[in-house]
């Protein structure tokens, strides 16, 4: 067998294989150098606050990220309170880190539930991506300045918004909060919890309790649905008539609804055994809807549950409480104002949150980092600091700080 090589007109080389009387000609293709995909490292630190029992990513979602080429670092016992063990994460392909610092040092993307505390901010590195809630009700300008100084691309759960206007994480957490609120109200109304000693729905021959919900969004819808299922009389107020109409359509029944004007609010609140604050304005603090004067006129032993406390609260008497001490009494009214109400059911809350965050992080991984901005409106809307600038106009307005549009920053690669 004889073999020789001659240059072709295209400048490549051809191999001629001569075997017996058969001439076989094959042309070698030019060598293609495949660009290696960047490995994105995801870090899941354990939440520092004892009030937060959720974990942002479950082992099932971690497995998906690992299968798509990511490395995931989970701090020891990060998922324990939500029912997920280190072994579950290790079996999914994650690395278990035994210090919070190690997680922050390894990660390109740090994923949390609560916003980082000041020690965690110190751990953050230049150009890392941070994904967490912000909790506007307790947010400070000092926190924002610290994040800006670190040159972090920060994404807030509250700001993630799709092209259709949906706010996926907040809607999911609101669904859990709305259902939870009615369970909590039913418990607090019992005599051993200091309430009126009433069933929320009553029984045959005994009038049901009256529940007034201020806010006809996702929280209001799920609270109303749960309260109706227990047999309570439900009233819903909102600033927008179309939201009230939409809520009734989804419930499939006619209920008492009214526009949230002072007179209607007063009439509804004073006739109620339970009031639930569920007003939500994306990216903004919640307006006060019920004055202290009105709270003082409610029947003794009534219940006030302020789900909007994360965003500042919509009752004038509200102040944040904890899971260990969830209630306080003012003017004879029992107040429940736990900011992270979804953490009351950490297993369910973690799975619900992880289902949404997993897709967001997967997009970042597939596009090799922050280049995903060109392809994801949801992620772009979620960013509130980038390249040492605030990129969310609502935050800038609240704190009187400068604002630069994310599109301009990204386009200029500033």
Question: What is the per-residue pLDDT for 64?
Answer: 97
Is the separation of the CB atoms in 321 and 359 below 8 Å?
A: no
Question: What is the per-residue pLDDT for 345?
Answer: 95
Is the separation of the CB atoms in 160 and 168 below 8 Å?
A: yes
* Token reading at 220: 């209001």
Question: What is the per-residue pLDDT for 28?
Answer: 45
Domain ranges of the chain: 1-29, 41-166+347-412, 168-338
Residue 377 burial (CB count, 10 A)? 13
Question: What is the per-residue pLDDT for 4?
Answer: 43
For residue 327, give every residue at least 6 positions away whose Cβ sits within 8 Å of its Cβ, in sequence order, or none.
Answer: 188, 194, 321, 334, 335, 336
What does the alpha-carbon distance between residue 277 and residue 338 come to, in Å, rounded to a whole number? 12
* Token reading at 115: 């916003």
What does the alpha-carbon distance between residue 380 and residue 403 come to, in Å, rounded to a whole number? 15
Q: Do domains 41-166+347-412 and 168-338 have the same CATH topology?
A: yes
What does the alpha-carbon distance between residue 175 and residue 88 come to, in Å, rounded to a whole number? 27
Is the separation of the CB atoms in 127 and 153 below 8 Å?
A: yes
C-alpha distances (whole Å) from 408 to each of 129, 369, 385, 405, 412 are 19, 18, 13, 6, 6
CA angle 158, 173, 239 (to 5 degrees): 70
What does the alpha-carbon distance between residue 31 and residue 96 come to, in Å, rounded to a whole number? 40
Fold of the domain spanning 168-338 = Rossmann fold (3.40.50)
What does the alpha-carbon distance between residue 127 and residue 133 come to, in Å, rounded to a whole number? 19
Instruction: Provide the β-strand partners of residue 43.
Output: 73, 110
What does each of the 414 residues of the chain score in pLDDT, given as a tens digit? 444 444 443 433 333 333 333 333 344 444 444 446 689 999 999 999 888 999 999 999 999 999 999 999 999 999 999 999 999 999 999 999 999 999 999 999 999 999 999 999 999 999 999 999 988 878 999 999 999 999 999 999 989 988 777 889 988 999 999 999 999 999 999 998 888 999 998 899 999 999 999 999 999 999 999 999 999 999 999 999 999 999 999 999 999 999 999 999 999 999 999 999 999 877 678 899 999 999 999 999 999 999 999 888 999 999 999 999 999 999 999 999 998 898 999 999 999 999 999 999 999 998 877 777 767 888 889 999 998 999 999 899 989 999 998 888 766 654
Question: What is the per-residue pLDDT for 110?
Answer: 98
Closest CA to 216 of 185, 183, 239, 186: 239
Which superfamily does 41-166+347-412 belong to? NAD(P)-binding Rossmann-like Domain (3.40.50.720)
Describe the strand order of the beta sheet including 2-7 as a list of residue ranges: 2-7, 13-19, 22-27
Just list the catalytic residues: 135, 310
For 94-162, where are the E strands, in sequence order? 95-97, 109-111, 129-132, 153-156
What does the alpha-carbon distance between residue 70 and residue 293 come to, in Å, rounded to a whole number? 55
CA angle 220, 244, 161 (to 5 degrees): 65
Residues 17, 19, 22, 27, Cα dihedral to 10°: -10
């Amino acid at each position: 067998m004889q073999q020789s090589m001659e240059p072709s007109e295209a400048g490549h080389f051809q191999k001629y294989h001569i075997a017996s009387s058969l001439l076989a000609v094959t042309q070698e293709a030019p060598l293609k150098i495949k660009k290696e995909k960047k490995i994105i490292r995801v870090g899941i630190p354990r939440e520092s606050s004892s009030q937060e029992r959720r974990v942002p990513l479950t082992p099932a979602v971690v497995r998906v990220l690992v299968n798509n080429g990511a490395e995931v670092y989970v701090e020891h016992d990060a998922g324990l309170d939500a029912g997920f063990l280190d072994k579950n994460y290790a079996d999914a392909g994650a690395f278990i880190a035994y210090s919070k610092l190690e997680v922050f040092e390894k990660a390109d993307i740090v994923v949390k539930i609560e916003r980082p505390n000041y020690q965690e901010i110190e751990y953050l590195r230049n150009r890392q991506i941070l994904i967490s809630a912000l909790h506007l009700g307790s947010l400070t300008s000092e926190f924002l300045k610290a994040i800006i100084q670190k040159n972090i691309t920060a994404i807030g759960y509250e700001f993630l918004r799709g092209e259709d206007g949906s706010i996926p994480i907040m809607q999911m957490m609101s669904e859990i909060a709305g259902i939870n609120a009615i369970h909590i109200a039913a418990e607090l109304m019992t005599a051993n919890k200091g309430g009126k000693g009433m069933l929320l729905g009553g029984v045959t021959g005994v009038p049901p309790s009256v529940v007034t919900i201020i806010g006809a969004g996702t929280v209001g819808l799920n609270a109303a649905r749960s309260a109706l299922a227990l047999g309570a009389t439900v009233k819903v107020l909102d600033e927008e008539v179309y939201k009230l109409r939409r809520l009734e359509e989804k419930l499939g029944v006619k209920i008492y609804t009214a526009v949230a004007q002072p007179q209607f609010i007063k009439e509804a609140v004073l006739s109620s055994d339970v009031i639930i604050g569920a007003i939500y304005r994306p990216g903004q603090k919640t307006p006060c809807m019920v004055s202290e004067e009105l709270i003082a006129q409610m029947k003794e032993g009534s219940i006030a549950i302020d789900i909007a406390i994360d965003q500042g609260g919509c009752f004038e008497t509200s102040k944040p409480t904890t899971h260990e001490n969830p209630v306080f009494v003012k003017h004879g009214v029992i107040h429940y104002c736990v900011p992270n109400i979804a953490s009351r059911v950490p297993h369910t809350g973690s799975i619900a949150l992880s289902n949404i965050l997993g897709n967001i992080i997967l997009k970042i991984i597939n596009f090799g980092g922050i280049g995903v901005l060109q392809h994801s409106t949801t992620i772009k809307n979620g960013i509130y600091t980038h390249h040492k600038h605030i990129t969310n106009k609502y935050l800038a307005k609240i704190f009187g700080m400068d604002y630069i549009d994310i599109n301009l920053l990204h386009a200029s690669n500033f």
